[in-house]
Amino acid sequence: MLSAGMRPVLVPSIVASPLLLRCLSVSAPARQLPQPPQLHKLETQEDMQQARSWIERFEKVRTDAWPKNLVETSFARSSGAGGQHVNRTMSKAIIRFPLPSAFFIPPYLVRHLRNTPHYAASPPSLLISASTHRTQHTNLSECFEKLKAVLLEAARRDLVGETSAEQKNRVKGLVAKEKAKIERVKKMRKDVKGGRGKVSWD
């Protein structure tokens, strides 16, 4: 209840935008991942450089620092050779990595990820499993290592070799040489045309 002479203070309500909700849902480990370049294609040398820079930084991030809340994790009974734990314990780890909602990878990766054996169309995602170890934790760690390898392979798919300074100078020299050749041909044709119709009295 307000006392006499006191006025109510209006507090503006905060509207949560989709971007704000997404930021709030990202865990602290997710913020440790490098910011990906928003490239849908690698067309220029600058695009290539941005992609290489992201790959270099992404390689250095340990998989245990990944936002594991952004993948669906499940466990199942393992099968095959391995002793008594086979078919008795839920040691097999399975992760589902959604596409293209994974905002911490460059967009150009998605096209290549759809062509991997791990791709599942419904819903669009990568399915990766591991069952070679006896514990859920170890198999889950292997799943994330496999996922990292798949992402890096896709990230490198469109990269082409960088042009060295020596190659650039060589190409520049060839272009200049070809240009000079064209100029000589033009001059010769001009001289020939200029000499037509003239009578020599020598």
Q: Looking at mean pLDDT, say which of 57-61, 161-165, 178-182, 189-193 comes out highest.
A: 57-61
Mean pLDDT over the full length of the chain: 76
Amino acid letter, residue 148: K
- HSE-CB of 13 using CA atoms within 13 angstroms: 3
- pTM beyond 0.85: the answer is no
CATH topology of domain 30-156: Double Stranded RNA Binding Domain (3.30.160)
Residue 141 exposure: Cα atoms within 13 Å on the Cβ side: 8
Torsion of Cα atoms, 113 then 116 then 122 then 123, to 10°? -30
Task: Kindly state the tokens that stand for 152.
Answer: 């890096």
Summarize pLDDT for 79-88 with one digit per residue, the tens.
Answer: 655 554 555 6
**pLDDT of residue 93 exceeding 90:** yes
